[in-house]
Amino acid sequence: MKTILIAVQDSARAHEWVQAFQEQDPSWEVRIWDPSRPASGAHYAVVWQPPTSLFEHETNLQAVFNLGAGVDALGIGLTIPTTMPVYRIEDAGMAAQMAEYALYGVLLATQRFGAYAAQQQAKIWQPQPAVLRTDWPIGVMGYGQIGAQVAHSLAQLGYPVAAWARRARTEAPEQVRIYAGNDQLMPFLQRSRILVNVLPLTDATRGLINKKTLAALLPQSFVINMARGAHIVDADLLAALDSNHLKGALLDVFSTEPLPADSPLWTHPNIHITPHIAGISLRQESAQQVLEKLNQLRQGIEPSGRVDPRYQY
């Protein structure tokens, strides 16, 4: 029997995922994982932040599908054996949302419309100077499916855009200059005034946005983080803001979520906060993508999106 096991933290969301998969393909039996019951015998699990006990309990699992692009919460090599095939969601509606979010951050940085709300309240008719895009070179950290769409969407608006990837890329896009590897990180940062982070969280990228890398940015720069909170050293970000080297920051993700009420990030006048909404996996699109990958597996075809344990993405 074709069985999919759903393991997500919220019960209501689990039932919504069951419905989404059944609507897409009713030939699959879709169950919600219940640790109090005997092992289901399912060969495939669809998960979001699953507990270690899932993999201890469900010993017949042959593949895991993560309901998101980032797999840092899975604990590959700890919670999940490195031999277990893990597949991540590729886009499923997230890339366009994250490109929009990046543009929102760019508009906050440039203050393209910042004065007009106050002017409306005061009934003042006063056009503001035009924003010169050449004054706001953008650097996108990460050049996978999401990073590429973010970079190209901003480049199409006329901003000078570069992207930095951990590994070299063979493609040479016309509108986006690609930097790659540790040797090219500092030159990439030194030409950037708006820094957009969409990197996967790995041992190599944890804390990458820190005192040294922030100092390399152009003066009066702006940081947009919609990847993972642990990419940023919060104390270094606050220090860079207080020294006026940074103009501001738009933060969607945090090391602890929900963000604790006593965090100084909440009240800093130059920080804008959103509750991890930059790229929300669209349920129907995600279910369809997982089912397509499952059908490929059953046909002996290797699906795209498999996570490489060496790189943690």
CA nearest to 237, candidates 224, 226, 227 = 224
Query: What is the C-alpha end-to-end distance of the chain, expressed in Å?
Result: 31
Written as one string, the DSSP assignment of 174-194 is: SSEEEEESGGGHHHHHHT-SE
Identify whether 43 is a catalytic site residue: no
CA distance 234 to 158: 31
Encoded tokens for 178: 């690609």
CA nearest to 243, candidates 220, 218, 209, 213 = 220
Identify whether 166 is a catalytic site residue: no
Residue 19 identity: Q
Residue of 88, 166, 228, 231 with catalytic role = 228
In the 8-state DSSP scheme, what is residue 72? G
CA distance 69 to 54: 20
Q: What's the order of all strands across the beta sheet hosting 29-32? A: 29-32, 3-7, 44-47, 63-66, 86-88
In the 8-state DSSP scheme, what is residue 152? H
Residue of 276, 283, 306, 310 with catalytic role = 276
CA distance 208 to 257: 19
Spatial neighbors of 48 by CB under 8 A, at least 6 apart, are 7, 8, 9, 66, 67, 68, 73
Active site residues: 228, 276
